[in-house]
Amino acid sequence: MTQQIREARRRPVRRGALFTGVVLTASALVLSGCGADGGGGSADGESGDFDFTGKDVAAMEDYGVGDTFQATEPVEFGLFYRDHPNYPLKDDWLILEALEENQNVTFDIVSAPLSEWDQRKSLVIGAGDAPEIISVTYPGQEVAFVAGGAILPASDFVQYMPNYMDKVEKWDLEADLDQMRQEDGKYYVFPGFREEPRAEYSFAVRSDVWEELGLSLEPATFDELRDQLRTVKEAYPDAYPMTDRWSANGPLEATLSFVSPNFGTSAGWGYGEGLTWDGGEFVYTGATDEYRDLIEFYASLVEEGLLDPESVTQDDDQAVQKFASGSAMSIATNDQEIVRYRTTVDELGSDVEMTQIRVPAGPAGDNFQAGQRTVNGFMLSSDVAESENFLAMLQFLDWLYYSDEGLEFAKWGVEGETYTKDADGTRVLNENITVMGLNPGAPENLQADYGFSNGVWTLVHGSTVELDRSMLRPEVLDFVEAMSTKKVLELAPPAPLSEIEREQVSLYQSALKDHVSQNTAAFILGQRSLDEWDAYVSELEGMNMPQYLELVNAAQQRYADAN
Amino acid sequence: MTDRLFRPAVQGGIRDSRSYTIFRMINAGLIVVICFVTLYPFLNVIAQAFSAEAYINSGQVNLIPRGFNVTTFGYVMGDPMFWRNYGNTVLYTVVATVIAMILTTTFAYALSKRNLKGRSFFIGVAVFTMFFNGGLIPNYILISTLGFKNTLWAIVIPNAISVFNLLVMKAFFENFPEDLEEAAAIDGLNTYGILWKIVLPLSKAVIATMVLFYAVSFWNSWFTAFLYMDKAELYPVTVYLRNMLAAATGTEALGTGGTGEASQVASNVKAVTMLLTVLPIICLYPFIQKYFVSGVMLGSVKQ
Amino acid sequence: MSVNNSVVVADAIELRSEMEERRERGGEKPARPRKHRVTWRKALKRDWRLYSLLVLPLVFLLIFRYLPMAGNVIAFRRFRPGGNMFGDEWVGFRYFELFVNDPTFWRAFWNTFMLGGLSLVIVFPLPIILALMFNELRSQRFKRIAQSISYLPHFMSIVIVAGMVLQLTSLRGSINQGLEAFGSSPIPFMQLPQWFPTVYITSEIWQTVGWGTILYLAALTTIDPQLYEAARIDGASRWRQIWHVTLPGIRPTMVVLLILNIGTFMAVGFEKILLLYNPLLYPTADVIATYLYRVGIISSNFSYATAIGLFEAIIGLTLILTANAISRRAVGTSLW
């Protein structure tokens, strides 16, 4: 009793950072998609030119797109590093050596473990103790730190980063960047860019069962999928045609996030702030008809016994067990997890086979979530603006994270030492090195032994489509290509909130979201009949939904007027 | 053996009543059930730690390991950082427990003297801190300013006194027979002497308990370490293992976390990490147990 | 040590049985020194060694507990992460108003109260009973083994315990299998809010009862065996021995623990609930700590969290003061 009381005494504390990570990613993924904060101006020529006198020590005179960055004298940058147990930090990593040799850059590393990453980051910034470069930050995570002035306004300085600007223009990222703007019109995080969003999540189905029953592995619509599940149920009455996972913080979070765009709404991880732009104003996602359609579909699955009712609340381990042991015939997956499922059944020696299918189309079309192009990036602490190496730092970061050369370097390593290039440009990893399922069984690991493809120094898989796909298994490539025919939905207009507004709104959001999660699960399970939908909507209204919408719409109007 | 357990005992010429004998049988039976209920899940975890991934993922592991292997153990224990961190944990725990015991014991003893002026005030001072704390950021700034970050002191000092333990210890000292202390005082021992030579040796049970409580709590703590340590070499093993667990469970869910790090760690990492953390401390208990003998051996003091 | 043990011991026995009788008669306070005003100078002179023992701990408390408490001022000021540590501007009771007006907070408050209260009422007595049960075991070896086994759940990591609970309560898990064997239909325990308190309390019992006996077992060792001897000679059966010797012997420990637990009963375990709950269970499972966690993810508002923390702290302090006062009146023993 003693220990538990003592441990529990520590408040205010947000523990269990893995959950924090999940939900923060979720918020971030949709904050970039569904109108959050922002306001004012385009990305170029922001608040005038910055005076770099005294702050351009070691910077290159002539630095532009296509140039390799090399500091004119050795520099050291402070780095807040996320220590991932798959590749613990080593001082003799090739990446560090190469950066020192070729770019003249070394790092003063402050480490925090992955398990407490977000919390430690929040604490360190909150206490004013942040290192210069704060890595692994998702758009949306920086919002809390803006008002305190601890973070550098990125948008003021991107004009000095040629590769960044180049990609923004080439890939038309203006609208995505606008999503991140705060009330003062600036954005504060340097996001990672994705040329095109990459699909990762979908359903894994038992291809042997599907084939046995003559079912197509490419159901075109969700209705067709449901029919398929019915067939499976008839053939295997003792098993669930579908079970599900990733319901840690809410029902079917991962699944609903990739299913919902096809129903014209957003849900699960994609729910974010619960705002849907209907063309003229924001409405609350949880109260829309499209959301209802989504829930109705899932409720029908449970009612007909096609979806395991425990899916909305069960542990991931239980879900995987059901799928691996054959009590369920399909489950949600991503391209990494399906490997794990396969290893399990292979070791058990069964003939089970599985594939990751393309997400079918729904009543609202064949869609893919909006705004997946600004992702995991980094922040700079505001005191870097006083550093004498400021310009050098900007140039270096620009090269490493945004130039094609830097991106390739961070992901693949050094040509000749870790990989070779074919005549047609295909990269081939050295035989003695493995990474992400390539060259399985090789003695060395690109991440653990060399430090490349490291989440801290690489921005999301390499940003460009080409780099992103360069390390994928053929099966995944097929999936990605199949999914790329989906229509990417458009972003909602930005609606930046003031600090005071945000304080109030966060409470509304939290309460509303809780109610929506709770009722989503209840409706799906049939605990609550869909006839009560209207009652549910009035409950939401009683929870300050109109006030919330009012604030947000006013903010959007404010932004639109100012621009 | 059962004979001894179930036959009504005879103590000092008085036979146990029948009802008491039945009670004893039921008592023993219940305790066996309790042992089973508490042991079973633990055995399950041990089984999982030694089982192959496939069997765990398909839920086939119960009490016996299936597909016996020590891969995950090997993976974890083959990492020099793991041993480094383990050493850290041992160091932190020992130092922290020593400091905590010194502070708590002296504090508790002083407060147990009822005629100490200001006693209520001092107790109040301690109790108040049970409820009010400064929060993460002020503590962080304090430790930072004191220069404790990245040193042993950041871990062993901030939690040195547990008011809960303090109050329990104080209660024990309050019940310590005053007459023994008075007798010793007459003999010429001062306060320090009484504490050191009379009270402590005869309070072995409560001291052993407190050492156990503190040691276990410091051993399991990871929070202070992750707050104040910047380098992986300084983590205690609990942070190391938590990190590993987070990679195995969290990153799957994150999906796009970084570069899509695969859950390369096996499914039984939870079981393995738990066992590695817990075993040494469990082994500690039998050594403590022998101190749970009657503290004040009145009436059986051998001349 | 030249103290004559036998004399001391004889006196001590006499003194002790006197004290025992008094205690049995219903709790008078143990003999207090005559109440005459002692000035600080006199006290310091008389007890300076005792005070010297206090110095280090007090300094510790001052620096590491009281100094950071100044940071609580951010409950009344707007704190911006990265800005001034004591907050940037005064906002008075704004944050308090914010949570007072939030119905979700009050639901969480009520759940905290319920779960904490149930814990106190149900879980508190059990270690005592178990300790007494252990005490009645004749075979020392069995007793020791059983004790060690009973501590095991305390060491199981919460993540694993949560996983186990979820497994047990699943539709095809052991509990439902048992239910089906008896003919009733399976119950989705983790999807019905009314079952959560039961599940939570049961898992708390399982995890804490064994470990909780340690203090009582330590207390049991301080009971003078002579008292048992004396009672037996008087013809008391084992039952009466337990009632008249054992229980009163551990009463001080019980009282202290009870008061402490009353004071801290609102500190319901955060991590376990976080791992066990899901949105369907919010009506009974959402406690203040988990509520703060969810709100905190969206806003990272340290001031808000501190305001709630202060609120809880005041409640806790009041509770312990009350419990202490009642205890002093009713039983004679108290924390101070």
Q: Please judge whether C274 and A525 are an interchain contact, meaning their C-beta atoms are less than 8 angstroms apart.
A: no
Residues 328-387 of chain A with CB under 8 A from chain C are 382
Q: How far apart are the first and last CA of chain A?
A: 59
- Name the band, by pLDDT with cuts 50, 70 and 90, for residue B290: confident
Produce one character per residue of C202-237: b if its CB has 16 or more CB atoms within 10 Å, e if not. Answer: ebbbbbbbbbbbbbbbbbbbbbbebbbebbbeeebb
Radius of gyration of chain A from its Cα atoms, rounded to whole angstroms: 24
pLDDT of residue C57: 93
Paired sense of beta strands A133-137 and A275-277, if any: unpaired
pLDDT tens per residue, range C244-280:
888 888 888 889 899 999 988 888 888 899 989 999 9
Instruction: Output the CA–CA distances (angstroms, integers) from residue A547 to A175, A230, A494, in the order listed.
Output: 27, 43, 18
Please state whether the peptide bond connecting residue C186 to the residue before it is cis, i.e. omega within 30 degrees of 0: no
pLDDT tens per residue, range C123-156:
999 999 999 999 888 888 888 889 888 988 988 8
Q: Is C125 on the interface with A (CB under 8 A)?
A: no
Q: Please judge whether A453 and B259 are an interchain contact, meaning their C-beta atoms are less than 8 angstroms apart.
A: yes
C78 CA: distance to closest CA in chain B (Å): 14
pLDDT exceeds cutoff 90 at C20 = no
Phi and psi dihedrals of A531, rounded to 5? -65, -20
- The predicted model gives C112-128 an average pLDDT of 94
Q: Which residues contact B33 (CB under 8 A, 6 or more apart)?
A: none
pLDDT exceeds cutoff 50 at C1 = no
Instruction: Output the CA–CA distances (angstroms, integers) from residue A174 to A25, A166, A302, A459, in the order listed.
Output: 21, 12, 42, 19
B129: nearest CA partner in chain A: A9
Paired sense of beta strands A75-83 and A105-113, if any: parallel
pLDDT tens per residue, range B144-165:
999 999 999 999 999 899 999 9
Is B101 in contact with B159 (CB distance < 8 Å)? Answer: no
Paired sense of beta strands A133-137 and B14-15, if any: unpaired
Mean pLDDT of chain B: 81
Q: Is B121 on the interface with C (CB under 8 A)?
A: no
pLDDT exceeds cutoff 90 at B249 = no
Nearest-angstrom CA–CA distance, B104 and A555: 56
pLDDT exceeds cutoff 90 at C6 = no
Q: Please judge whether A128 and C292 are an interchain contact, meaning their C-beta atoms are less than 8 angstroms apart.
A: no
Query: Which is more confident, C221 or B35?
Result: B35
pLDDT of residue B11: 54
B24 CA: distance to closest CA in chain C (Å): 7
- Name the band, by pLDDT with cuts 50, 70 and 90, for residue B235: very high
C165 CA: distance to closest CA in chain B (Å): 10
- The one-character DSSP state at B175 is T
Position B5, amino acid? L
Residues 256-275 of chain B with CB under 8 A from chain C are 270-271, 273-274
pLDDT of residue A11: 40
C210: nearest CA partner in chain B: B38
Is A81 in contact with A112 (CB distance < 8 Å)? Answer: yes
pLDDT of residue C23: 58
Instruction: Output the CA–CA distances (angstroms, integers) from residue B62 to A132, B41, B42, in the order listed.
Output: 50, 9, 11
Nearest-angstrom CA–CA distance, C5 and C8: 5
pLDDT of residue C26: 53
Instruction: Output the CA–CA distances (angstroms, integers) from residue A436 to A201, A447, A448, A452, A472, in the order listed.
Output: 17, 9, 12, 12, 8
Of A13, A248, A310, the CB nearest to C171: A310
Q: Please judge whether A128 and C82 are an interchain contact, meaning their C-beta atoms are less than 8 angstroms apart.
A: yes
pLDDT of residue A119: 86
| 3-state secondary structure labels for all residues of chain C | CCCCHHHHHHHHHHHHHHHHHHHHCCCCCCCCCCCCCCCHHHHHHHHHHHHHHHHHHHHHHHHHHHHHHHHHHHHCEECCCCCCCCCCEECCCHHHHHHHCCHHHHHHHHHHHHHHHHHHHHHCHHHHHHHHHHHCCCCHHHHHHHHHHHHHHHHCCHHHHHHHHHHHCCCCCHHHHHHHHCCCCCCCHHHCHHHHHHHHHHHHHHHHHHHHHHHHHHHHHCCCHHHHHHHHHCCCCHHHHHHHHHHHHHHHHHHHHHHHHHHCCCCCCHHHHHHHCCHHHHHHHCCHHHHHHHHHHHHCCHHHHHHHHHHHHHHHHHHHHHHHHHHHHHCCCCCC
pLDDT exceeds cutoff 60 at B295 = no
- The one-character DSSP state at A147 is T
Cα dihedral across residues C166, C169, C175, C181: positive or negative: negative
Of C12, C57, C225, the CB nearest to B294: C225
Position A89, amino acid? L
Phi and psi dihedrals of C83, rounded to 5? -90, -150
C123: nearest CA partner in chain A: A1
Nearest-angstrom CA–CA distance, B67 and B62: 12
Mean pLDDT of chain C: 84
- Name the band, by pLDDT with cuts 50, 70 and 90, for residue C21: low
B201 CA: distance to closest CA in chain A (Å): 24
Nearest-angstrom CA–CA distance, B113 and A476: 73
Q: Please judge whether C280 and A20 are an interchain contact, meaning their C-beta atoms are less than 8 angstroms apart.
A: no
**Which H or E run includes A134?**
strand A133-137
Residue numbers in B near C57 (CB within 8 A): 103-104, 106-107, 161
The token pair at B147 is: 């220069």
Residue numbers in C near B292 (CB within 8 A): 217-218, 221
Is C261 in contact with A1 (CB distance < 8 Å)? Answer: yes
pLDDT beneath 50, residues of chain A = 1-46
pLDDT tens per residue, range A270-280:
888 899 998 88
Of A122, A147, A313, the CB nearest to C190: A313
The alpha carbon of B8 is separated from its chain's Cα centroid by a whole number of angstroms, namely 38
